[in-house]
């Protein structure tokens, strides 16, 4: 069974189309990235998934439950970390999580709350008032709230926006462990190195349309070929390797590199030409390069 299904989902605000016939599935156990520039429709899609907004057309399910007709079951199946910091300033951290547990009818949830507090570095703040916390600590509580009812699907909408490196590392270590335990994770982020490191499948939205939906390896193969910047102590690029030369830059020669095995032939040719290698840098397009390339197409 698919964890999430968006079946021909569209959303209109008057004459403006925020989502246009979105169709894709997120499978159980996926670590899934939903990427796109501001205004692409990511948050609108998540709002429909959460039942906070109603699609103009189409159907959305979570763990087999329709988000409209099976709202209670669908809402129990998903935990969502919103972009905004929304909290009650009169509650402590622990009280916030206890009340959240109550919304889902969970009693005697203290052990799991303690586990979440420890894994998110909140134990020392458990009895602190929410309004006394820093922005980064409040962000941690938002994550804890989404996890308190142990949902099989977890949606993180820009969870590390504006937070420090410590929180980012703590959060991803915990989320990785949840994914390894079988939870389905959906991530939206503008930090594309996070998506490249963490996710196994990637969808890209542009202006409300689905632009790509592929495994990470497939989408990374869309990038430009691997290149190498070769710097010589002196001399010109040999004519025998002229077909590989892309351009001269940074006191070196940027060349196409089909694969790393091709380096052996290149270095041998340089030696035969009497040239001495000073330095070499090998580069391959990352997800950010591919994202910019696809969004500008």
82-125 pLDDT, tens digit each: 888 888 899 999 999 999 999 999 988 999 999 999 988 899 99
Tell me the CA distances in angstroms from 189 to 3, 32, 66, 160, 210, one per residue in order.
Answer: 20, 11, 26, 8, 16
Distance of CA 257 to the CA centre of its chain: 29
pLDDT over 80 at 9, yes or no: yes
pLDDT over 90 at 289, yes or no: no
Match 């989902």 to its residue by tokens: 9
d(CA 290, CA 221): 9
Report whether 249 contacts 158 (CB < 8 A). no
pLDDT over 80 at 163, yes or no: no
Q: State phi, psi for 171 to the nearest 5 degrees.
A: -65, -45
User: Does this model's pTM top 0.85?
Assistant: no
pLDDT over 70 at 279, yes or no: yes
Q: In sequence order, what are the residues at sequence separation of 6 or more whose Cβ sits closer than 8 angstroms to the Cβ of residue 288?
A: 192, 193, 196
The token pair at 244 is 């590989």
Per the CATH hierarchy, to which homologous superfamily does domain 2-215 belong?
P-loop containing nucleotide triphosphate hydrolases (3.40.50.300)
- 223 pLDDT band, cuts 50/70/90, is low
- Strands 184-188 and 31-35 come out as parallel
The token pair at 108 is 């005697």
Reduce the secondary structure of the chain to three states and give it as a string.
CEEEEEEEEEEEECCEEEEEEEEEEEECCCEEEEECCCCCCHHHHHHHHCCCCCCCEEEEEECCEECCCCHHHHHHCEEEECCCCCCCCCCEHHHHHHHHHHHCCCCCCHHHHHHHHHHCCCHHHCCCEHHHCCHHHHHHHHHHHHHCCCCCEEEEECCCCCCCHHHHHHHHHHHHHHHHCCCEEEEECCCHHHHHHHCCEEEEEECCEEEEEEEHHHHHCCCCCCEEEEEECCCCCCHHHHHHEEEEECCEEEEECCCCCHHHHHHHHHHHCCCCEEEEEEECCCHHHHHHHHHCC
Tell me the CA distances in angstroms from 134 to 6, 37, 95, 127, 138, one per residue in order.
Answer: 36, 28, 17, 14, 6
- pLDDT at residue 225 in the model: 62
Q: What is the dihedral of CA 161, 167, 168, 172, to 10 degrees?
A: -130
Pick 290 or 78 by higher pLDDT.
78
Match 């040999």 to its residue by tokens: 238
pLDDT over 80 at 2, yes or no: yes
d(CA 194, CA 216): 12
- 5 pLDDT band, cuts 50/70/90, is very high
The pLDDT tens digits of the residues spanning 239-278 come to 999 998 888 887 889 888 877 788 889 999 999 999 999 9
Query: Domain spans of the chain?
Result: 2-215, 227-295
Weakest mean pLDDT among 51-60, 93-102, 131-140: 131-140
Match 């999580």 to its residue by tokens: 97
């Amino acid at each position: 069974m698919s964890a999430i299904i968006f079946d021909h989902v569209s959303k209109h605000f008057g004459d403006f189309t925020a989502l246009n016939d979105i169709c894709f599935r997120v499978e159980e156990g996926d670590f899934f990235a939903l990427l796109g520039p501001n205004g692409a429709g990511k948050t609108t899609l998540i709002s429909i998934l959460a039942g906070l907004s109603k699609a103009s057309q189409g159907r959305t399910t979570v763990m087999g439950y329709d988000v409209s007709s099976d709202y209670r079951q669908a809402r129990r199946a998903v935990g969502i970390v919103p972009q905004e910091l929304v909290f009650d300033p009169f509650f402590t951290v622990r009280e916030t999580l206890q009340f959240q547990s109550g919304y889902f009818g969970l009693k005697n949830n203290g052990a799991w709350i303690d586990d979440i507090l420890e894994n998110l570095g909140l134990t020392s703040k458990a009895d602190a008032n929410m309004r006394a916390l820093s922005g980064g600590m409040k962000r941690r509580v938002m994550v804890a709230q989404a996890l308190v009812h142990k949902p099989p699907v977890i949606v993180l909408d820009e969870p590390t926006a504006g937070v420090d490196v410590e929180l980012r590392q703590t959060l991803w270590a915990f989320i990785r462990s949840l994914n390894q335990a079988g939870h389905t994770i959906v991530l939206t982020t503008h930090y594309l190195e996070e998506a490249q490191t963490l996710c196994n499948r990637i969808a890209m939205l542009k202006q409300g349309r689905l632009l790509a939906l592929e495994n990470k390896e497939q989408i990374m193969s869309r990038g430009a070929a691997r290149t190498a910047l070769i710097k010589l102590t002196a001399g010109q690029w040999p004519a025998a390797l002229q077909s590989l030369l892309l351009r001269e830059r940074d006191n070196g020669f940027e060349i196409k590199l089909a694969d790393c095995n091709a380096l052996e032939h290149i270095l041998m040719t340089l030696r035969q030409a009497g040239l001495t290698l000073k330095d070499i840098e090998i580069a391959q397009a990352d997800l950010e390069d591919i994202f910019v390339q696809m969004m500008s197409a």
